[in-house]
Structure 1
């Protein structure tokens, strides 16, 4: 939580390349923080959050999916 506060990420969707159970378990109790993998992301999830934190491999997967 401290790292999210340092980055001023209060209402954030975190996108990873694959499902990360440990990250999901760590974030599930944080208010307005959700975790998703790149293949499961949808427009509704994207507009529900003010900011999106995405890993480079996840971004590449999304680019491939949309190409």
Structure 2
């Protein structure tokens, strides 16, 4: 083996290692973003439920409209 082929193999291994490292970083960032989005969604749902319970419809159950 000559020096160029050894250097080429080492460069290829280094590129592979760097790309794996970058992929892991991106995956961690996406996981953190998804977690934050899910937490925000849960909080929004709780807010909607609380608002629905605190302010019921003013005529719900008081007037029944029946047509024959």
Normalised by the length of structure 2, the TM-score is: 0.19
Normalised by the length of structure 1, the TM-score is: 0.19
Higher helix share: 2
